[in-house]
Amino acid sequence: MARLRITRIWQCLLGALLPLTAHADYAWNFPKPVTPMALDTLQVHNKFMIIVMVIFVVVLAIMIYSIVMHRKSRDYQPAGFTGPSTRAQLFWTLVPFAILLYIDFILMGIPAFHSVVAMEDTRTDADMVIKVTGSQWRWQYEYLDGPAKGISFVSNMTTPQEQINNQAAKNPEYLLEVDNPLVLPTDKKVRVLLTSSDVIHNWWIPAFGAARDAIPGFLRETWVKIEEPGTFRGQCKELCGKGHGFMPAVVIAKNEQDFTAWATSKKAELQAAAAGADKEWTKEDLVANGKGIYEKNCAVCHQVGGQGLPPAFPALTGSKIATGPVLDKDNKMVKDGHLDRVMNGKGVMPAWKGILNDTEIASVITYERNALGNSVGDMLQPAQVKAMR
Amino acid sequence: MSYSTTVDHEEHHDHPSGMLRWLTTTNHKDIGTMYLTFSLIMFMVGGAMIMAVRAELFQPGLQLMHPEFYNQLIGVHALVMIFAALMPAATGFANWMLPLQIGAPDMALPRLNNWGFWLLPPAAILLTLPFTLALFGIGDGAIATGWTFYAPLSVQGGIGVDFAIFAVHLLGISSVMGSINIIVTIFNMRAPGMTLMKLPLFAWGWLITAFLLIATIPVLAGAVTMLLTDRHFGTHFFDAAGGGDPILFQHLFWFFGHPEVYILLLPVWGFIPQILSTFARKPIYGYKAQVYSLCAIGVLSVVVWAHHFFTAGMPVPALLYFMYSTMAISLPLAVLFYCWIATIWRGSMTFETPMLFAIGWIILFGIGGLTGLVLADVAADAQYHHTYFVVAHFHYTLFAGGIMGIMAGVYYWLPKMTGHMYNEKLGKLHFWLTAISFNLTFIPQFFLGLAGMPRRIPDYALQFSEFNMISSIAAFTLGLTQLLFVYNIVSCARGGKKATDKVWEGSNGLEWTLPSPPPYHTFNEQPVIR
């Protein structure tokens, strides 16, 4: 009876494990390295793993020999020694430690030294500089020099909530897809400056071998030199709140020519968006534009329907702030009013003025006031937002 | 004192009965029992939390819980397992066995001892209460920052953080009091003739642990107090805008946090050689070398803390210093491994449950130690850091190296404490199921980490599905297996085959000269050691 049940459990287990063999692409080691640092890391890792496995196997073999041979059931008579008793024994006792000393500080220690020095040398021969800012829960990228100088944008995860909630089939790049990937040139040493606008994040692309914390109020740096074009995906790896698992970083590497072409077209696109701030918008256009921005940026806390997750994340439906005045009679921003809260944030609410442009802020505020069960009826023009900056 | 008055004293002791007995007891055996019971209960509580986490991680997508709740579970799981399961288990053994091993009538400071224990249940309630409060709409649940409290995430967090801060204060006070008691007991109450270099290794391990606790707990208390004032009283210790630094918190936290690892392990390193020697029927190998290695590890443990946050950014010389000093720990640790294996070498071994756990412990803890050596390398650490590789590594050190060691101790001393033999067959089944399911849980996590799965994420990309599924199934097995452990302990406490005084054929030491179970008061007249 019991045996039958155990057999059945094994069958269930095997059934669960069988699909494994169907996937040929799952990884047993670091992903294929595309930067010198990642290659170095992989080599160091492989070497160290072999060393520790040899140590493990040798020690385990000694233990197994002892367990098999030195047992009472074989009538093995116990020895009585409590330590090395002759000089020769003492010498042989010290040999393993000499070997370990050699492994620690020479075999492993010297290559590790060179890796560390190379990893931390962000400046020598750097071709361009970018700034990466982490914020809950998205990355912002800014090009500080080179052909793309002046370009800056926000990169959000695009995986829809339905897929996360298992209401829709998952994309192959589930949780690792973004709207605006970072684009970098190949074969250029890119110095990456990192900071954060709220809590500590960590920008990590496994194929680059580079991971560095983004710390609010400080700059940290690392570097990448991507050696082949392609798309590379990673995630935030420092716990940063409820959206920590939903903060991917995606980098597209292009050769120099394609990169310059991309920079030109991206600049034109951003200019067009900035021009949108000077035109007069209708309320319907603002609401329609605001819906997408709301769902991408705000819905994670305030929820798609605006009901929030009280008490941490208040509801917007019927909220005093979202239905209260935006500007006072002198056309100044009302303190702790709707626009103030969206632009400057408070507590857990991030400051959006650095993340969203004027049109986006105006749209999302107009949307929140005229949708989600609210019907204040007024609207905010992008030009008015621009004037508050 | 004549024999008759001693008996009188024991029969008509003026301690109350029932609940009041346990509340007011100053007897080291009672307090030890309470510590061990508390530890077992909290082990199951912390385990239940992680079962829920593994259920959520069984498949990609969010099935069971919101990410906020997930973050609360992982953090409280760690705090409960470290502070409320592992540490009290070691303190419980210390209370029960130190006086018996050194021939003392009780701990030196019995009332402090009672107080030290009774701070624990309120602390455990403080830790877990926010879960319940959230059900009634008060606050937003328990601490959601992971057990490390990293600022500024913890400055941003809800009331769960405050509850956890006060819980840590209570746990810290309890630990410091326990440590003072152990140091005073070991230094002052040894039987005549028991010099420090004749002290059982368990006492040595605990002595060093106690000094580490006294050195580092105040730093943790200071760090979380600074966090509290940052949260509520407008200070800016960890806020760059006010001239503070978030990384300062990490330095302070890990100045406590790294020695904490050894605080959890040193008592186990103390009694494992005693178990090995008992079942190999052979004296402990290299006693002096082990004592010196334990001391060396104690010293090294307070100078390597920054290897927990290499990726936070440090000057190159600091990176190199922390890398090489971390690697240096492998030397005294290798001495210990050498001595453990030399203790069983050419012995006459039998494999009762404590011995199975002790040998499994050497092998699995070895994996934890070796992966730790690899993690010390700063460049490769950029890849390992904050991935499942680290999760697997520290579960090899803390579950295999800590909890499986504690289990070895439980089976070893349970017959002495209860006077009954536990069910040997069930014990062996418990060992094999634990060892196999533990490995099946955590070996896949090494590969997950290498493939790039960050830790502390409630949902994961599709390429991580298969390993997570294996890990979850094995974790459920591991969790259910522990019910066998509880059943075996409870039935052993209630009855069973009578244990002899010596219990084990090869047992050696003062505690095995006493009856099983030992009377309420022991060594009223101290034995003389020659």
Per-residue pLDDT tens over the stretch B337-373: 999 999 999 999 999 999 999 999 999 999 999 999 9
Residues of A in contact with B327 (CB under 8 A): 104-105, 108-109
Q: Is residue B306 part of a domain?
A: yes
Report how far residue B128's alpha carbon sits from residue B124's, in angstroms, rounded to the nearest whole number: 6
Residues of A in contact with B504 (CB under 8 A): none
Peptide bond into A137 cis (omega under 30): yes
Q: Which of A56, A104, A170, A224 to mutate to test the interface with B (most CBs of B within 10 A)?
A: A104
Residues 469-528 of B with CB under 8 A from A: 469-470, 473
- Contact call for residues B504 and B278 (beta carbons, < 8 A): yes
Nearest Cα residue in chain B from A213 = B312
Count of CA atoms in the C-beta half-sphere (13 A) of B488: 22
Residues 38-57 of A with CB under 8 A from B: 40-41, 44-45, 48-49, 52, 55-56
Q: Is residue B2 part of a domain?
A: no
Q: So what's the pLDDT on residue A82? A: 87
Report how far residue A289's alpha carbon sits from residue A276's, in angstroms, rounded to the nearest whole number: 12
Q: So what's the pLDDT on residue A9? A: 52
Cβ–Cβ gap A82/B283 under 8 Å: yes
- Contact call for residues B273 and B343 (beta carbons, < 8 A): yes
CATH number for position B211: 1.20.210.10
Report how far residue B222's alpha carbon sits from residue B216's, in angstroms, rounded to the nearest whole number: 10
Per-residue pLDDT tens over the stretch B265-319: 999 999 999 999 999 999 999 999 999 999 999 999 999 999 999 999 899 999 9
- Contact call for residues B92 and B510 (beta carbons, < 8 A): no
Give the closest residue to A189 by CA, choosing from A222, A213, A211, A141.
A222
Q: Is residue B356 part of a domain?
A: yes
Look-up of token digits 């059982």: B200
User: Which of A148-157, B3-12, B133-142, B364-373 is least confident?
Assistant: B3-12
Q: ipTM of the assembly? A: 0.89
Q: So what's the pLDDT on residue A244? A: 94
Give the closest residue to B512 by CA, choosing from B103, B206, B108, B185.
B103
Q: So what's the pLDDT on residue B17? A: 78
Q: Is residue B220 part of a domain?
A: yes
- Contact call for residues B510 and B103 (beta carbons, < 8 A): yes
Q: So what's the pLDDT on residue A296? A: 81
Residues of B in contact with A172 (CB under 8 A): 462
Amino acid at A321: I
Count of CA atoms in the C-beta half-sphere (13 A) of A132: 34
pLDDT at B9 > cutoff 90: no
Residues of A in contact with B344 (CB under 8 A): 63, 66-67, 70
pLDDT at B327 > cutoff 60: yes
User: What would the mean pLDDT of B201-227 be, rounded to a whole number?
Assistant: 96
User: Which of A18-32, A64-78, A358-372, B488-502 is least confident?
Assistant: A18-32
How many domains, in total, are found in chain B?
A: 1
Q: So what's the pLDDT on residue B53? A: 95
Size of the A and B interface in Cβ pairs below 8 Å:
298
Report how far residue A385's alpha carbon sits from residue A362's, in angstroms, rounded to the nearest whole number: 6
Give the closest residue to B150 by CA, choosing from B374, B397, B456.
B456
How long is chain B? 530
Q: Is residue B19 part of a domain?
A: no
User: What would the mean pLDDT of B314-342 be, rounded to a whole number?
Assistant: 93
Neighbours of B40 (CB within 10 A): 21
Per-residue pLDDT tens over the stretch A7-34: 555 555 444 444 444 443 446 888 889 9
Nearest Cα residue in chain A from B289 = A83
φ and ψ of A23, to 5 deg: -85, 120
Q: Does any CB of chain B come closer than 8 Å to the CB of residue A17?
A: yes
Q: So what's the pLDDT on residue A377? A: 82
Q: So what's the pLDDT on residue A28? A: 80
Q: Does any CB of chain A come closer than 8 Å to the CB of residue B235?
A: no
Q: Is residue B519 part of a domain?
A: no
- Contact call for residues A122 and A228 (beta carbons, < 8 A): no
Residues of B in contact with A240 (CB under 8 A): 153
Per-residue pLDDT tens over the stretch B46-77: 999 999 999 999 999 999 999 999 999 999 99
List the domain range (segments joined by +) for residue B270: 24-513
Give the closest residue to B265 by CA, choosing from B192, B214, B206.
B206
Q: Does any CB of chain A come closer than 8 Å to the CB of residue B443?
A: no
User: Which of A25-34, A129-138, A202-211, B282-291 is least confident?
Assistant: A25-34
Nearest Cα residue in chain B from A162 = B61
Query: DSSP state, B305?
Result: G
Listing DSSP states for A92-153 in one string gives HHHHHHHHHHHIIIIITHHHHHHHHHHHH--STT--EEEEEEEETTEEEEEE-SSTTTT-EE
Amino acid at A258: D
φ and ψ of B513, to 5 deg: -90, -10
Q: Does any CB of chain A come closer than 8 Å to the CB of residue B65?
A: no
List Cβ<8 Å contacts ≥24 apart for B435-440.
Answer: B435/B360, B435/B364, B435/B404, B437/B474, B437/B475, B437/B477, B437/B478, B437/B481, B438/B364, B438/B395, B438/B399, B438/B400, B438/B404, B438/B474, B438/B478, B439/B364, B439/B474, B440/B470, B440/B471, B440/B473, B440/B474, B440/B477
Q: Does any CB of chain A come closer than 8 Å to the CB of residue B73?
A: no
Q: pTM for this one?
A: 0.88
Q: Which two tokens stand for residue B330?
A: 């492998």
